[in-house]
Each structure stands twice: as C-alpha cells, then as structure tokens.
Chain A
Amino acid sequence: MAKLSAIGLLIALVGFAIYLVFYNFNIPAIKPTPSPVSGPVTNEPASLGLELVSPDDNSLVFQPDIIVSGKVSTQSAILVSSEDSDVVIQSQEDGSFSTVFTLSSGINNIQVAVFDKNGEQRMINKTVYYSKEKI
C-alpha cells in the first residue's frame, strides 16, 4: 500500500515539474504553418490613388509660395491647377511628389489631379487664401 502511495506521489511530482518547466520557460506550442495559397490571384490591381499632404484645406497663408505635396499610387504626371496658374510635375519612383506653387492674392481654389494612361482621374480640391498683409 505504502509502495503504491510513494509511486503515485512520484508520478504527481514529475507531472508537476513538467508543467512548471513549460509554464516558466513559455515553450511555444507547435503551430501548423499555413499552406501557401494556390490557385489564381483574385486581388484587384492597384487602383489609381491620390493623397495630399499639403496644403491644408481652408488655410490662410501670408506668403505667395506654398508647397503642394502628396503621394500617388503609381508613378505618373500630376497636375496642380488654380484659377491663374497650372503646373505639371512627375512623381518619384515611390509615388511621392512635391512642388512649390505660386498663389494669387485672395482666394485660390487649388485642384490637384492625377491621370492614368487610360484617362482615369483622381482629383482633390483645396482652398487656400493668400493675404498680403498679416492679420
């Protein structure tokens, strides 16, 4: 009887020790690796995208020259246009673009547009007010 008790205790101790080792050393469980996706690619091709970093909409500036910058999804020509001025710039390889744009005094409705080779267009409008005198 005593022999059986001692064996039972030993098994319990060994079991507990194994649990402690796994718990303290946080041995990760073996997870099955996901199998590579097979079959046709179903994702749509990257669409034409345009993000504008600057200028902010409804901003008031006291200098005629502002920076127009942002990012397009594909390397392309970007048109920056206001009532009195137009400029076309080429984006960098990573799609980023930046140019100095000259404002007219007063309200400037700035349109930034990008086109792909099929004429697909994305456009963002911003209003900037250029005041010659500080307020």
Chain B
Amino acid sequence: MKGFRLQVLGYSLCLLFLLSTVTCNLSTAQAAESSPSVEVKQKLEQLKQEIASKAAKLKLEISSKLTNKVYIGVIKSVSPTSITLATKVNTKIVTINQDTLFKDTKNIRKKINLSGLKEEDYIVALGDIDDTEVLTAKKIILLPQAAKEEKQKTILWGKIVSVSDKLIAIKDKQAKTISVTTSKIDVKFKSSDTVILTGFINKNGILDGSFLYVVEASPSGKFSEEATSSDRKKN
C-alpha cells in the first residue's frame, strides 16, 4: 500500500513538472507576441519602409525597361493591326493603332500609312513594349533598302608589324596580318606598338582605319609619318 502511494506521488510530480514547463513556454511566447517592444516596432517600421522603397525602385526600373523601345528589321508580314518583323536576333511583333504615325525617310513629304508598307521593307518601329515583348508602335519609319546592307564596324587588336605611307600592317592574336589604311588616323604610333583599331573593311579587304588607340607603346620603333598629334589619344 505504501509502495502504491509512493508510485502515485511520483507520477503526480512528473505530471506537474511537465505541465509547468509547457505552461511556462506558452506564457512566454504569448507575452512576446502581445507586447512587442518599441525596438521591435521600430525595426518593423524600418523594414516596411525599406521594402516599399525597393518596390518603388523596382517598379521604376521595370517601367523604364518597357517604355521607349525600338525594333529594327525587315517586314515579314503585315496585317491591319500588326507587323511581323525579322530583326537581327529574332522575330518581333509590332502592333499598330489609330495613333501610330508613319514616316518615309526616302520621301519625307510623302504621307504613308500601313497600306504603304509591304514585305521586305526595312523599318524602325518606335514605341512601348509589354511583358511579352510586343511593341505598340507610336511611330513607324520606313528606311531605304540600302540601310539593310550597312556593314558592321570592325574592331581589331594587335601589334603593328610595319609602318609605311598611309598603310600599316597589324598582326592579330591569331598571328594573322591585316592591312590598315591610316589616312583618317591622327594619333602618333610606331611599329611594335600594341593597338586597338576600328574601321570598316573596304572592297579590297583592307581595313579603312578610323580610330587607333595605343594600348602598349613599344620602347623603340619607327614612328608613323602621317601622325599629326604628338599625344596619344587617351579618351
């Protein structure tokens, strides 16, 4: 009987201990929730402001990425409300509405509209895009066909291996020698200089240089006779 009493007492103690622990945990959590300190409130307020500021910034960024855009390309199909355009990269859809303006660069005085556009015309569409990258055109500019074939400017890095009258030879990274005309370049350079050059390749396969920047000057070498400026172009 005494043993039984002791057992009951033991289990009661255990139960009390468990109950007190749980109650203690709960009351602490409730107290923390119901009465946040001023510091916590301030932090929450600060966090709210930061989130609002970031959201506004993001909204502005997205808006700037969607407004005032341009698609340039060749017309692949025309419908009363849209144009399918083949750009350098991919195909784009341009929608037309009653506010869209049309301009023909070949004949500024001539008034054109959507019916004046046909397949293979080279155009620029100016307007805003939506999240699917469809551009609502505010203005369509018809460009001359010749503009389609405009060459890309060539950028060249290499070492000058020879300098002669209005012509230099550049050895590029692959040890290929390229001839460059220098009549438009007014920067002083000499053989063995490492340079960056830009220009357009002419029909003879020679680069008509329009810009030269000396990346690394050679300590010795023959100076160009055509150079008119003693200072290297920095910017």
Contacts and interface: CB of A to CB of B under 8 A. Distances in A.
Interface of A: 1-2, 5-6, 9-10, 12-13, 16-17, 20, 24, 56, 58-61, 77, 79, 81-83, 86-89, 99, 107, 109, 111, 113, 115, 117-121, 123, 127-129, 131, 135
Interface of chain B: mostly helix, strand, loop or mixed: mixed
A60 B69 contact: yes
Interface string B201-228: 0000000001101011000000000000
Nearest to A62: B68
Contacts of A128: 70
A87 B234 CA distance: 8
Given A60-B126, A127-B70, A5 B3 contact: yes
Contacts of A111: 153, 155
Given A2-B6, A13-B17, A129-B126, A119 B158 contact: yes
Contact of B6 (A6, A13, A89, A131): A6
Contact of B153 (A77, A81, A99, A119): A81
Interface string B124-135: 101100000000
B2 interface: yes
Contacts of B30: none
Q: How large is the interface on B (under 10, 10 to 19, 20 to 34, 35 or more residues)?
A: 35 or more
Contacts of A135: 101, 126-127, 138-139
Interface in B99-150: 101, 124, 126-127, 138-139, 147, 150
A88 B153 contact: no
Contacts of B210: 86
B35 interface: no
Interface string B84-98: 000010000000000
Contacts of B124: 107, 129
A83 B71 CA distance: 18
A115 B10 contact: no
Interface string B172-185: 11000000000000
Contacts of A115: 157, 196, 215
B152 A109 contact: yes
A77 B194 CA distance: 12
B14 interface: yes
B233 A5 contact: no
Contact of A1 (B3, B65, B126): B3
B198 A86 contact: yes
Contacts of A123: 155
Contacts of A83: 150, 153
Contacts of A16: 14, 17-18
B72 A9 contact: no
B213 A77 contact: yes
